[in-house]
Chain A
């Protein structure tokens, strides 16, 4: 792994077995405060990674490092063959290249409230990929249909329920044809029943082979949909592996306590 950073720059088509996401010794400090401490993990193409752990563990920060919404203070990040090393200044081009490969869905949806659902999905395609308005809108309509919101195209986000907004946000991210999708507690702001419609869309996405990294408190989703589970605490990976195995038989005391606490709440 030590010299593996440069080889990841090779075109992924020549290396079909290379991971879609790889973090190597990633550190993130805010001033004195270490939020991520030597985190390494990789996600293979088509895999679904679930990230769980107590609040403040650094899950969001980890996710946000993958698309450089946060700049890691140490380590390297590779997404679909594009490698970014901490400490190097990232050119606008590199950043655009990396972000074009990664879609992100936020807990608070973050739709643009002054645009219709259709425009929320179409505009980024026009701006980022240079698609024509027609092309972008056709794609937006198709995606709205896919997330079950064909009739909401002309609706403004504030007129939509939380679950609908989140599905629009997923469609917006998918419209840019990302190689990887990041989800940061996509259902935490939603009522449980409403969260289900979002989880259903995510599950379909996983079934279609999308590579996903999902921070979640939905233990059902983590157990049943994810291929790989990472448990984080205090900026470190506490344990990782097959989700069913970890749920059935956690190796760490801290994991056991965490799982007991969340499962009791459910």
Chain B
């Protein structure tokens, strides 16, 4: 136990920096991926069949490709040279967009048909019906599963260590390979992740409860 504490105190700086990179990566992933998911979800209801098909193909490819493969594809495959951090953010955003589009779609479908009919009868254009009536309510319905998915994606940022992004997992591994305290350092890393994910899960449950009470 003292060994773990010692390791933490010794490498505190690197580990906390690593956690910082993990959090930044996750936030950038959400900032790119969640709007992407919304866009795909809305596109899947488009009147034009070509748009719907495009959205479905994108989603299915995105969901069918493991996040790790996506990461390697973006990092090594894109013709432009991006930093490892940006490559990781783009790859994880693509995965996020594909998965959350399905979650958001489910939320949008949950908006009562009668309201959409009322919007039609009022003469609202499809765009306005979507933006003003369907999306605000659909996102509310989708919020708890979306938050849950974001927690999973935060954990998936660990995959970025494979392309040398200096996030928490990479830091822990690099320290461990110099002092051979593998168990200690991965345990510390695990605890630091939990420091974020456990409160986030509690928050998600609270939000879900609150939404359930207000509908």
- Answer whether residue A87 sits at the interface, using C-beta atoms and an 8 A cutoff: no
Chain B hits for A106, CB < 8 A: 114, 117-118
Q: Are A112's CB and B133's CB within 8 A?
A: yes
Taking a contact as CB atoms under 8 Å apart, the answer to whether B114 and A108 are in contact is yes
Of A32-40, A94-102, A133-141, A220-228, the one contacting chain B is A94-102
Q: Considering the chains assembled together, what is the distance between the CA atoms of A20 and B136 in angstroms?
A: 37
Chain A residues 97 to 137 lying within 8 A of chain B, measured CB to CB, are: 99-100, 102-104, 106, 108, 110-114, 123-124, 127-128
Q: Is B137 in contact with A127, judged by CB distance below 8 angstroms?
A: no
Kindly list chain B residues whose C-beta atoms are within 8 Å of the C-beta of A112. 115, 118-119, 132-133
Q: Is A170 an interface residue (CB 8 A)?
A: no
The interface residues of chain A lying within 8 Å CB-to-CB of B125 are: 92, 96, 127
Given contacts A100-B123, A124-B123, contact A110 B115 (CB under 8 A): yes
CB nearest neighbor in A for B133:
A112
In the complex, whether B120 has a CB less than 8 A from a CB of chain A is yes
User: Does A83 belong to the interface (CB within 8 Å)?
Assistant: no
Asked if A152 is an interface residue, CB under 8 A from chain B, the answer is no
A5 within 8 A of B: no
Which of chain A's residues have a CB closer than 8 A to the CB of B133? 112
Determine if A128 and B123 form an interchain contact, defined as CB atoms under 8 angstroms apart: yes
Which residues of chain B are within 8 angstroms of A90 by Cβ–Cβ distance?
none
Instruction: Enumerate chain A residues within 8 angstroms of B132, measured Cβ to Cβ.
Output: 112, 123, 127
A-B CB pair tally, cutoff 8 Å: 56
Q: Check if B124 is an interface residue, CB within 8 A of chain A.
A: yes
Find out whether the CB atom of A110 lies under 8 angstroms from the CB atom of B136: no
B210 to chain A, nearest CB (A): 15
**Size bracket, chain B contacts:** 10 to 19
> How far, in angstroms, from A114 to B140 measured CA to CA in the complex?
10
In the complex, chain B residues whose CB is within 8 Å of the CB of A114:
136-137, 140
**Complex Cα distance A113/B214, Å?**
11
Evaluate contact between B123 and A176: CB separation under 8 angstroms. Answer: yes
Contacts of A67 in B (CB 8 A): 121
The verdict on A128 contacting B124 (CB below 8 Å), with A112-B133, A114-B136, A114-B140 known, is yes
Give which listed residue, B115, B122, B140, contacts A99 with CB less than 8 A.
Answer: B122
* Cβ-closest chain B residue relative to A96: B123
Quote the shortest CB–CB distance from A73 to chain B (angstroms): 19
Knowing A113-B137, A114-B136 touch, does A124 contact B124 (C-beta < 8 A)?
yes
- For A103, the chain B residues whose CB sits under 8 A away are 121-122
Q: Which residues of B contact A110 (CB under 8 A)?
A: 112, 114-115, 117-118
Query: Known interface pairs A113-B137, A114-B140. Does A99 touch B114 (Cβ–Cβ under 8 Å)?
Result: no
- List, in ascending order, chain B residues with CB within 8 A of A102's CB: 121
Chain A residues in 8 Å Cβ range of B124: 124, 127-128
CB of A212 to closest CB in B, whole Å: 15
- Once A106-B114, A112-B115, A114-B136 are accepted as A-B contacts, the answer to whether A127 and B128 lie under 8 Å apart by CB is yes
| A173 at the binding interface (Cβ < 8 Å) | yes
Interfacial chain A residues near B140, Cβ < 8 Å = 114
Residue A69 lies at the interface, judged by CB distance under 8 Å to chain B: yes
Report chain B residues within 8 Å CB of A167.
none
Q: Tell me whether A124 and B114 are in contact in the complex, defined as CB-CB below 8 angstroms, given that A114-B136, A114-B137 are known contacts.
A: no
B136 nearest in chain A by CB position:
A114
Report the Cα distance A123→B114, complex, angstroms. 17
Within 8 Å of chain B (Cβ to Cβ): is A71? Answer: no
Q: B residues within 8 Å of A by Cβ? A: 112, 114-115, 117-125, 128, 132-133, 136-137, 140
- Contact surface of A with B, Cβ cutoff 8 Å: 67, 69, 92, 96, 99-100, 102-104, 106, 108, 110-114, 123-124, 127-128, 169, 172-173, 176
> Can you list 21 pairs linking A and B with CB atoms under 8 Å apart?
A67-B121, A69-B120, A96-B125, A99-B120, A99-B121, A100-B123, A102-B121, A103-B122, A106-B114, A110-B118, A111-B118, A112-B115, A114-B136, A114-B137, A114-B140, A123-B132, A127-B125, A127-B132, A169-B118, A173-B121, A173-B122
Please name 19 further chain A to chain B contacts, defined as beta carbons within 8 Å, in addition to the given A69-B120, A108-B114, sorted by A numbering: A67-B121, A69-B117, A96-B123, A99-B122, A102-B121, A104-B118, A104-B121, A106-B114, A106-B118, A110-B115, A111-B118, A112-B119, A112-B132, A114-B140, A124-B122, A124-B123, A169-B118, A173-B122, A176-B122
The 8 closest A-B pairs by CB, nearest first: A110-B118, A99-B123, A104-B121, A110-B114, A124-B122, A128-B123, A127-B128, A100-B123
